Amino acid sequence: MFEKTIKDICTMLDVKNDLSMFDAVVVKGVSIDTRKIESGNVFVPFKGENVDGHQFVRQAINNGASAALWDINVPNPPADIPVIVVEDPLLALQTLANQYRHELDLKVVGITGSNGKTTTKDIVANLLSVKYRVHKTQGNYNNHIGLPLTILSLPRDSEVAVLEMGMSGFGEIELLSEISQPDAAIITNIGESHLQDLGSREGIAKAKLEIVKGLKPDGLFAYCGDEPLLQEGVKELDLKYVETFGRSESNSIYPTKIEMNNQGSYFETSLAESETFFLPVLGQHNIHNALAGILIARHFGLRLDEIKEGLQSLKLTQMRMEMVKGKKGESIINDAYNASPTSMKAAIGLVSELEGYHTKVLVLGDMLELGDHEKDFHQEIGRMIDQEKVQLVFTFGHLGSFIAKGALENFPEDRVQSFSDKESLTRELTSIITGDELLLFKASRGMRLEEIIEGLKA
């Protein structure tokens, strides 16, 4: 991880105070939370709407931090402890991350997209781990604070960092790309997430394409070639190495054969038609993510047998197409980490096609950040559910009720129910489950559907 003396840090940042008496103090790693301070950390305080982190600086030192940053606009910085006064602690954090990234003999893969970022991150990291020492974004550390913290936590012997890049508005992906300077970049797709901030899918595409701003001149840019908005945007970019993935035969890589079962997918590709890959993850949409990973793996010199090994041993971050068992033996697909119309349709499509279940139950909640037409998006999801392939539809939340409204255009009333509280929904599910059901849980993160799953799990 990041390890420097305060004298070193003073050469990396525009420091506003005299720290010569602390020159030899060593800092190891960075923290923004006094409750998670590790010995030697430098603490970074932020000024929030309700809480000012500067008031916890002395506590951070008492908890083991070696030093702390300090905003020059906050009065009375302590003089008896190593406090590094800077113009802006956030900018200083990002600057340290950028400089540390360049100190390391490291390749960076940056990943963004409306859906599939985390799954693709997991796939790429697992593939490259077959050959390299790889570290990846943990949890949701994918924004202007989380990404710098991820970089600063990298061991010095890291060979590859796989970094997820999230955003809610213009300029955010560009900043992350400039900080991390990726050697390869991926856009998984363009969906409807963040419509309320970016206004249109065209705006989303423009924001996602910012990932190439920091791409190395000889870096690889891989994107979903089935998306016309990305195709148009790429025409305006001066990029040396570009490859595409998707279902269309016009892509650099596309699937030529797919066979699915309840454990995952077997598939062949246009790049190696005699080779069958196994992906132990549910859903055709995850084959799409695997294709992006294969392009990156080839760019980094992996052989076909290494790619097969990396895919077959994959384990995804929790709550992404995670299959678990309920108390009565029912199968539960926990895909409750996030949701958009695109990912919701993909998950419903998967459940519709899986075989071997007497009853299939959808438990669907609100999809957030969809802008002015959010109700229409939810109702459309309800309409597209096939009553021949799904037996019961349960929805949760205000917007979820519009999914139920759409489903009732095709379903009998006794097969669709809408709930506003989790207790009632859990009771109803518990009363109908006999053990041979398949249940899908899908909603935006804020709906916390995993709380219902915990009540059903064995």
Q: Could you tell me the residue ranges of all domains in the chain?
A: 3-87, 104-312, 322-456
Residue 193 has what pLDDT?
67
Superfamily of domain 322-456: Mur ligase, C-terminal domain (3.90.190.20)
pLDDT score of 115 = 85
Decide: 98 and 123 in contact? Cβ < 8 Å: no
Average pLDDT estimate for 233-249: 95
Burial tier of 27 (Cβ tally within 10 Å: 0-12, 13-18, 19+) = buried
pLDDT at 197: 67
Q: Is the pLDDT of residue 400 over 70?
A: yes
Would you say residue 195 has pLDDT above 80? no
Decide if pLDDT at 263 tops 90: no
Q: How many residues does the chain have?
A: 458
Q: Which residue has the higher pLDDT, 115 or 414?
A: 414
Q: Are 78 and 280 in contact (CB under 8 A)?
A: no
Max Cα separation, the chain? Answer: 77
% of the chain beyond a pLDDT of 70: 98
Look at residue 92 and tell me whether its pLDDT is greater than 90.
yes
Query: What CATH code would you report for 104-312?
Result: 3.40.1190.10
DSSP-assigned states of every residue in 75-117: S---SSS-EEEES-HHHHHHHHHHHHHHHS--EEEEEE-SS-H
Residue 435 corresponds to which tokens in the numbers above? 């053990």
Region of poorest pLDDT, from 10-14, 185-189, 355-359: 355-359
Positive or negative torsion for Cα 334, 337, 339, 345: negative
Contact 188, 227 (CB under 8 A): no
Could you give the CA distance from residue 175 to residue 163 in angstroms, rounded to a whole number? 13
Confidence of residue 353 (pLDDT cuts 50, 70, 90): confident
Q: Report the C-alpha gap between 439 and 433 in whole angstroms.
A: 10
What is the bridge-based pairing of β-strands 3-5 and 26-28? antiparallel
Average pLDDT taken over every residue of the chain:
93
Q: Is pLDDT of 317 > 90?
A: no
If we measure between CA atoms, which residue out of 231, 217, 441 comes closest to residue 335?
A: 441
pLDDT at 182: 98
Dump pLDDT digits (tens) for 57-66.
Answer: 999 999 999 9
CB 331 within 8 A of CB 273: no
Asked whether residue 210 carries a pLDDT value surpassing 80, the answer given is yes
19-26 own/partner pairs: CB under 8 Å, 24+ apart? 19/82, 19/84, 22/67, 22/82, 25/66, 25/67, 25/82, 26/66
Say what the pLDDT of residue 272 is: 87
* CA–CA distance, 36 with 46 (Å, rounded to integer): 15
Mean pLDDT, rounded, for 288-297:
97
| Whether pTM exceeds 0.85 | no
The structural architecture, per CATH, of the domain 3-87 is 3-Layer(aba) Sandwich (3.40)
Reported confidence tier of residue 416, pLDDT bands at 50, 70, 90? very high
- Is the separation of the CB atoms in 406 and 383 below 8 Å? yes
Among residues 179, 124, 119, which one has the least CA distance to residue 149?
Answer: 179
